[in-house]
Amino acid sequence: MKPMLDAVNPRLPLIDLHRHLDGSIRLSTVLELGRKYNLPLPAKDIDGLRPHIQVNEKQPGVMAFISKFYWLRAILVNYEACRQIAYENIEDLRLEGIDYAELRFSPWFMAESHQLDPQGVVEAVIDGALAGMRDFGTPVKLIGILSRTYGPEIAWKELAALESGGQAIVALDLAGDEANFPGSLFTSHFKRARNLGWRVTVHAGEADGPASIWQAIDGLGAVRIGHAVAALDDPALLDTMRARAIGIEANITSNVQTTTVADFRSHPLKSFLEASLLATINTDDPAISGITLHDEYQIAAPAAGLTLEQIHTAQQNALLVAFLSPEERNQLAASKGSTPIN
């Protein structure tokens, strides 16, 4: 794929809205912590480690892709490790030239390998993220994830852990095995989240059809949808998402790697933008996909058929649907010399 030069509009902030904190761990940190805690790493250097973490061929589905998290989770042996990866996430955003990001994480998923207390994971992530923002200056908001794969009972415990984070958590997401754990199992959890004042974004339409997206919007109160690939199969759903200004967190490379779409050209992002939906460009799990946000703008988006104007529209959409206050949104726009957003 030939990169599109200067695909990012310098007059707009560069924003990543769908980025998993535990899917953004440096390979060098996997080596460092693996050695520090005498873990049986599958390789002794980054080149040897890479095929065990990064996707080098298309996976037979979302859950196969998720299996690549094994070593990213295995190094989370204690709360200090969780704090470190959160801190480094913020530094990497700055190094990547990203102006604002929303990092999401499932405390239960992160805690499971070494049987940590999920509440302790939440505290460590918040502490690391706050320290990173202080030291590197990149503004970040945290989104909690309920991992549907564990079922609704565990989800209540995970929700309680996330609640302990207070105002540091701004939204709730539902991720994991979409095909076997429908959103209808979690309606009460998300009612609780909305009562807390949290916004809602849901992984939907990635491993299941349009009905999953309808349920996320009408049943869980989602104002943004992660992936949403299947929305293109239901014109009425597209009309509803446009009318309600539902944001779409598109992840082009990830969707190709999980075989959610056949190839880059088959990705629906271009069609979403042509339908005037608030679709955005994001990384998902850059450590696993082996990408940066610039790669998605300059390589993946053109490969998916987007014009430069459409890429810039997606960049603008990210500012519009970010979980920011009006004052924060205008401040972020002004930092790039953009017109304030009303």
Angle at 223 between CA 222 and CA 228, to 5 degrees: 75
* Residue tagged 């560069």 (tokens): 14
Q: Among 88, 158, 206, 296, which one carries the catalytic annotation?
A: 206
Contacts of 46 (CB under 8 A, 6+ apart): 27, 28, 31
Q: Is 329 helix (H, G, I), strand (E, B) or coil?
A: helix
Helix (H), strand (E) at residue 195:
helix 187-195
Nearest to 294 by CA among 22, 99, 98, 101: 98
pLDDT at 338 (0 to 100): 80
Q: Distance (Å, rounded) from C-alpha 101 to C-alpha 177?
A: 25
Nearest to 143 by CA among 255, 241, 21, 227: 21
Total residue count of the chain as it appears in this document: 342
Q: What's the 3-state SS for 254-317?
A: HHHHCCCCCCHHHCCHHHHHHCCCEEEECCECHHHHCCCHHHHHHHHHHHCCCCHHHHHHHHHH
Q: Distance (Å, rounded) from C-alpha 304 to C-alpha 5?
A: 15
Q: Distance (Å, rounded) from C-alpha 332 to C-alpha 138?
A: 11
**Is position 206 annotated as part of the catalytic site?**
yes
pLDDT at 154 (0 to 100): 98
Kindly report each contact of residues 62-69 with a partner whose C-beta sits within 8 Å and lies 24 or more positions away, as own/partner: 62/177, 62/178, 62/179, 62/206, 62/207, 62/258, 62/260, 63/177, 63/207, 64/258, 65/254, 65/257, 65/258, 65/285, 65/288, 66/176, 68/285, 68/288, 69/22, 69/23, 69/109, 69/285, 69/288
Question: pLDDT tens digits for the chain (342 residues)?
Answer: 567 778 999 999 999 999 999 999 999 999 999 999 999 999 999 999 999 999 977 787 888 888 889 999 999 999 999 999 999 999 999 999 999 999 999 999 999 999 999 999 999 999 999 999 999 999 999 999 999 999 999 999 999 999 999 999 999 999 999 999 999 999 999 999 999 999 999 999 999 999 999 999 999 999 999 999 999 999 999 999 999 999 999 999 999 999 999 999 999 999 999 999 999 999 999 999 999 999 999 999 999 999 999 999 999 999 999 999 999 999 999 999 887 665
Torsion of CA 327, 15, 337, 138, to 10 degrees: 70
pLDDT at 342 (0 to 100): 57
pLDDT at 341 (0 to 100): 64
